[in-house]
Amino acid sequence: MPESKVRKTAATKKKPSTTSVEKSRRIKAPTSRRWVPPAFITVGLLGVMWLIVFYIAGSQIPFMVALGNWNVLIGMGGMAAAFGIATLWK
């Protein structure tokens, strides 16, 4: 009659732990995010101000006349970037 398989002991089941080289490769998240609120408020307000200036005096500013309706995309892009920056806040 054939013999049954021998079970592995706890020592042989143990997986090798991560080496110090692998631990040093991990990227640590920045600890301070104090720059986020001023950055997203500034970028958001710049986007809103761009749209306000475009709608009020856009026909009198030469570079805004040249951009045409792209000014709307620039203003909305600034506001969208502000929301993107706001997601970094903890």
Taken as a whole, the chain contains a residue count of 90
Asked whether 50 and 67 are in contact (CB, 8 A), the reply is no
Show pLDDT as tens, one digit a residue, over the chain (90 residues). 778 777 777 666 666 555 555 666 777 766 788 999 999 999 999 999 999 999 999 999 999 999 999 999 999 999 999 999 999 988
59 CB neighbour count, 10 Å cutoff:
9
Q: How far is CA 55 from CA 12, 52, 73, in A?
A: 73, 5, 13
Percentages of the chain per state (helix, strand, coil), in multiples of 5? 60, 0, 40
Domain range list for the chain: 35-90
> What pLDDT sits at residue 27?
74
pTM here?
A: 0.63
